Structure formats: C-alpha cells, structure tokens
Structure 1
Amino acid sequence: MTGDLSDQERARLGDYWASWKLANVWPQFPVNFEQTWHEYMAALTHLSADLMRLFALALELDERFFDDTFDCHVSSIAVNYYYPQQRTPLPGQLRRGEHTDWGSLTILYQDSDRGGLQVRQGASQWCDVPTIPGGFVVNIGDLMALWTAGRWASTMHRVVNPPPGDTSARLSIPFFYLPNHDAVLHPIAAVTDSGSSDSIGVSTAGQWISRKMQKTFAADPQDYADAD
C-alpha cells in the first residue's frame, strides 16, 4: 500500500499504469489498522530521508542532494506472509527466489525469531542475514545502482526454506522508498565522473518502475484497470 492520495493528486501521476495511482482499500479489522499503517509509513519515510542524506555524504555530494527527488515520493509498504510448509519443497524451490528491489532503498522488518533471508556476496556465495530484535535490514535498490552507474550495486537477495520439520510461518514487512514519479533518470555526473546524462530508455522513475511492476504480472495490469 502507498500513502492515501486524493483523486486530483492521483490524476497528476502520469498517464501510465502504476500501483501508487490506485486508491487504498483499508480493512475494518483489526481496529486502528489504517492509523497504525500511516504512522509506520511516516516513521520509515523519515528514516529513509535520513539514510538518503547519509548516502549523499558517502558519495561526496551535498547532504540534501536527493531531497527534491523525494519531496513527493511514491513509496509503498508490503506485507509478505510465508505460509507454513506442510510439504517438502521441490528441488530448487525457495520461499522467494533471488531478486533485487527497484527503488532507491528498502527498509525491511522481519520476524525476530525467523531466519531465511540471504544476500548474495560476489558471484555465487549466499550469506544469512541475522535477525536482530528491534532492528531493520536495509537494501540498496536498482535506482541507487543506476544513479551511481554501478558504483553501488543493488542487493541481490532471496528467502530460503526453513529447516526440515519446521512448519512455522514467516512474516516480513518491506518499505520501498521510491522517488517522485517524475524524477529524471540518469547517472549522477558528479559521482560517475563521466559527465553523462544518458537515460535508460524511459524518462522518469515512475515509468521505469511501472514497467518493472508490469513484468511481475501474468497479464497486463491495464487489463484489470479497463475492466473496472
């Protein structure tokens, strides 16, 4: 889910399909779910903005270099519920296959007593990510890799199966910090020393992320929009 926007605000988010243009549908139960969700999103937005300022300093940029790229951000939160495994997984089957996230960074909360998340080091080595009570996991996303022209790599990660006989469920809540939908995409010249401002085939972050989203659907999401 994304932040709640008015019809007028959603109408200004381009003429392409995107999940952040859809109105949220809030459940009635549990009580105060919507309020809690908004509070959590506000807290992680604040944390993400601080992290982006640290990123800017690490890249030897002005601390607030990214501020105007996220002043109308289209970030979202997801809840991943991994059902108990009652049957032995098929060979090579994982709870979540290897992938990178699309945005600038992801902040992940996961069950403190459930492992399974792994990140890739080098070409083929996978390392367990420890669960720390009260802690978050922060992944670099594809947009940060793009902005730095690969100087910073997006985090390849996956979720492996629990040990044999462990039928517990697993819960993770990732916050995807996405920039303004109309943020221009090109490597940062001051970081790459290339002076290049070449785009990557689309003009904005919103269009690029929208294409990524549509590739995850079996059918074109526009088909569902047209059916409403």
Structure 2
Amino acid sequence: MTGEPPSDLIRSVSRALRVLEEVARADRPLPVKVIARRCGLNLSTSYHLVRTLCYEGYLHRRPDGDYLLGSQVAERFHEMVRAFERPPRVRAVLGHLAAVTGHTAYLARLADGRLVVAEVAEGPCSPWLEDLQAGLETAPHATALGKALLLALPSRTRRGVLRGYGLRRFTSATPASVEDVEEELAGLRPGQVVEEHGQFRPDVACAGAVVPGTQWAIGLSARGLSVPRAASARLAEAVRDLACA
C-alpha cells in the first residue's frame, strides 16, 4: 500500500485483501487466530472474512482448520498473464530459438515489480526449471531475464523494484544486496544480452535480452555455468527478429 487511503475506502474489502496478503506470504497454512493477529483484526471479523473468501474460492480451508490460498487466486493471475499484449510472432520466434539451439526459450516481463514468465518453448539441452514456467512469477535479481529488464529501467526505479521484491538467496552466488545487483549491471548497456551463472540454480546458466521498443525480454537456459556462444548469438538474432516484427 502506498500513499494516503482514498476517501471512499471500503474497509471490508481492504481487510479481506490484508487477509489474502498474510496467507500468501506465510510459509505454511495459517489458523484463523494467527490471521487475526497478523492483520490486526478481531477474531469474529476474521472468521467472517475467511468464510467469505473460502466461498468465493480465494482461500481454501484444510481439514485441520488452517487456511491457504485458493484456486481463484491462480485463476486471476493467469488471466493477467493472458491479457498481456505479446510481441507479434513471439511464439514462432521462441519455438525457432529452442529448435535451433536445443535450449529452452522464455518470454517474460515485469508487472508491478514482479517478473512474470508468459511463454516457454522447451528444448532438450536445458534442465527443467520449475520456477521458469508460463504463468509463474519469479526472481528478477537472480535471473538473466530479470536482469535484462532491470537494466532497461532508470536506476531509482530499478532499486525500488529490487527492494520491493526482496533479494531471496537461491544459491551461494545469488546477489545479496541491491548494491550487488547495481555493481553487476554497471558495466552493461540496455539491450545487451545479459547472463547469469549459477545465481538462480546451481550448475545452470541463463542469458536474456530486452526486445527493443517493448517491455518484454526473451532468454534461454543451459546446463553448466556458461551459456554456449552460439546459443547466445541465436538469442540476439531472435531479439532482432521480434524487434522488426
């Protein structure tokens, strides 16, 4: 939440969203008493809210009485991803990139400070990366796709995105601070192919680049700690193809 609340704020809606946010950020299902305490609500109000959210499908009640996110949250997220206006011919370009390199190709963008994967074309030479699948949100600071998109942002905006998302450690090589990411990007120019080596997954390297004139980046992943030079060159060609489409 940012800025002053609107004069016509509907408090019941605001409270329901706070409940969803607390359940979403928890690392395990939560009982109603914990939800009430974390949201600063009385227990009676919390029961009304979780029952309503369960009825609408935004929360799910487990047999033990604890609550986790419901299927409608995922539905809304997938609808958001489907609503993005993708570059023309992107599916064909990604498919060709995966075919000629043998590496899995990705399309992603930043949405509200989050890195969202919108399209994937699988290739046999890449490992299966469960967090880099269509419709999923992943880390901008530890992925080549994210770094390429961050590089295209003004420094102040980039720092805000990084602070807002947080810098989760995926491996020992993951950048640990905003300053680490800034230092890594300092020697690069917007539009350049960006690589990361073992920062998102051990023994996996990725490359990514922004499609000029868009808010999209495409990338690929490879086993080991280096991206084959030929694959990186093909990625740059695919970026040019999309830019001209």
The TM-score range, normalised by the shorter chain, is under 0.3
Q: Which has the higher helix share?
A: 2
TM-score where L is the length of structure 2: 0.24
TM-score where L is the length of structure 1: 0.26
